[in-house]
Amino acid sequence: MIDEVDQIVSAWRRERPDLDVAPLEVLSRVSRLAAVLDERRADAFVEHGLQAHEFDVLAALRRSGDPFELTAGELCALTHVTSGTMTSRLDRLSARKFVTRHNDPSDGRLVRVRLTSTGRRRIDAAFSALLDTERDLLGALPDAKRAELVDALRDLLLAANTPAVT
């Protein structure tokens, strides 16, 4: 069986035999799979009235454990956004009663964000839907291949995040 990436790689090999296009065989598939995954995730989140960035914030709070509270700065770091972007997200999540904010009692400069019971119910339902969607997608792979893929993708991600030595 061939897919569209096989066709693209074949065409490039024909047109540019002087280049090693082997990276496309992996990374073009990863890119296309990421797009499919983003779409499926968005659908799972929409079912629960969330956007992906809202899910990210609520999920970070939920994973933090009881009392499901982090500083705004910690949320920025965990979700890879600026403080201005986080403020906007927290404003919307607060308005929907998914989170509350308060000053840190020991350091008034810090804002602490806490997941509400409403927010917890919402993130728990959305996370369950996400896992169902992702389990369905991964069902195409036997367990042994899935384990190999986990290891290979971990290695690739670690390599991608390691600074190049020059």
The CA-based angle 65-52-141, given to 5 degrees, is 85
Regarding whether 111 and 29 lie in a shared domain, the answer is: no
The parent domain of residue 86 ranges over: 50-160
Regarding whether 146 and 87 lie in a shared domain, the answer is: yes
Regarding whether 93 and 22 lie in a shared domain, the answer is: no
For 37-75, what is each residue's pLDDT tens digit?
A: 999 999 999 999 999 999 999 999 999 999 999 999 999
Residue 166 forms part of a structural domain: no
Question: Integer distance in angstroms from the first to the last C-alpha of the chain?
Answer: 41
Domain count within the chain: 2
For 98-143, what is each residue's pLDDT tens digit?
A: 999 999 888 878 999 999 999 999 999 999 999 999 999 999 999 9
Model's pTM, two decimal places? 0.84
Regarding whether 133 and 85 lie in a shared domain, the answer is: yes
Regarding whether 138 and 98 lie in a shared domain, the answer is: yes
Regarding whether 78 and 19 lie in a shared domain, the answer is: no
Structure token digits, residue 48: 């629960």
